[in-house]
Amino acid sequence: MAYYRQVGEIPRKRHTQFRTPEGGLYAEELMGVEGFSADSALLYHRHLPTAIVNAETVDTASAGPLTPNLPLKPRAFKTQDLTWSGEVDAVTGRRRLFGNADVTIGFVAANAPSPLYRNAAGDELLYVQSGDGVVETIYGALTVGEGDYVVLPTSCTYRVVPANPMNILVLEATGHIGPPKRYLSAKGQFLEHSPYCERDIRGPVEPLLVDGEDVEVLVRHRAGLTRFTYANHPFDVVGWDGCLYPWVFHIRDFEPITGRVHQPPPVHQTFEGPNFVVCSFMPRKVDYHPLAVPVPYNHANVDSDELMFYVGGNYEARKGSGIGIGSLSLHPSGCTHGPQPGAVEASLGAEFFDETAVMVDTFRPLELGEAALASEDPGYAWTWARRGPDQG
């Protein structure tokens, strides 16, 4: 997404002298992706962003191993059954639900400010299921609340400060997350067929300046996790411009695409990442052919695992399966899946579906993390047959 933005004070010409009121030079930093060949931003710091005074390794063993989906079957999970105790923040409090070589998917119920954090291994996408607060970044602050997606580019230093407890679904990619390329022109403008556009995007509007010395920043990188101590607070950027920055998009600003007959999931796509996509299912008018079947047809995910996070309304295709707000369903490659028994007949003649869900399709199998194992509904796989493996 090449949507240019300018915040704060910057010099007229890039890579030229830019002096403080006292006469010193601001420290220019280029934040760019794909080796100077793609989107970037120029940030102007009051202090050197390179000045570290300490570094120490942080143990990551507590995340536990990932478990293959064996035996292969559809599964369901209830994030509402996950528990935390005491003060929990949106970074160190994350519990891993799923993962593969391309993305880690976690969940957190945060009630306290997080440490300063930077993911240097890939972009992050946060979906705020409930609550509200502020995501503070080196680019400025973003006010966020229920239904907001937050896109955090690789190596953006940030912290999450809840105003009210926040339930957050977290995607940590091994590459970059952005709008689908088919929504964008060659110059990065959203095209007319895109279900959202630049007017729907919220970015930082003013610098966020914080003083401090010997400030710790937790950094995720390809080899693990390191805690750096910086000589000065990293929130010292007086101005920046460019096309690489954190931004917010509210799920209700996604405009559903409908048709006379049932439309396939790609019409709901909102983001793409390395070997995965994210889709938004919104309340919408449904199919208007006189013989239309509004709920999805049975389908086999021959190339992908489908993960659905149910966040609002009533999901017609899953009635009778125990799925509720905060639940997740995982339908893996190798299994045909579709509406629950009775859902097709019940949907006939419907004109509107009141449902909100976030879907993640991955093109490599998802394995199960400790949070998935702790919140699984063991009977979900058998709900189409109405009997389990021990019932003959």
* Buried-state track 189-205, b at ≥16 Cβ within 10 A, e below 16: ebeeebbbbeebbbbbe
What pLDDT shows up at residue 1?
A: 59
Would you say 353 and 286 are in contact if contact means Cβ atoms under 8 Å apart?
A: yes
What pLDDT shows up at residue 391?
A: 54
State the Cα–Cα distance between residues 283 and 120, nearest whole angstrom. Answer: 36
CA distances from 275 to 101, 265, 289, 303, 360 (A): 9, 16, 34, 11, 11
What pLDDT shows up at residue 392?
A: 47
Would you say 106 and 88 are in contact if contact means Cβ atoms under 8 Å apart?
A: no
Residue 105: strand pairing partners: 98, 171
**pLDDT over 70 percentage in the chain:** 97
What are the structure tokens assigned to 284, written together? 């919408």
What pLDDT shows up at residue 199?
A: 96
Pairing of strands 117-119, 213-221: parallel
DSSP assignment letter at 183: G
Write down the residue that tokens 């019940």 correspond to.
Answer: 346
Dihedral angle of Cα 381, 382, 385, 387, to the nearest 10 degrees: 180
Question: What's the one-letter identity of residue 254?
Answer: F
CA distances from 352 to 174, 283, 308, 323 (A): 38, 7, 20, 20
What pLDDT shows up at residue 63?
A: 78
Residue 135: strand pairing partners: 142, 160
Would you say 29 and 244 are in contact if contact means Cβ atoms under 8 Å apart?
A: no
One digit per residue, the tens of pLDDT, for the chain of length 392 reads 569 999 999 999 999 999 999 999 999 999 999 988 999 999 999 999 999 999 999 998 777 899 999 999 999 999 999 999 999 999 999 999 999 999 999 999 999 999 999 999 999 999 999 999 999 999 999 999 999 999 999 999 999 999 999 999 999 999 999 999 999 999 999 999 999 999 999 999 999 999 999 999 999 999 999 999 999 999 999 999 999 999 999 999 999 999 999 999 999 999 999 999 999 999 999 999 999 999 999 998 889 999 999 999 887 667 666 889 999 999 999 999 999 999 999 999 999 999 999 999 999 999 999 999 999 999 999 999 866 676 54
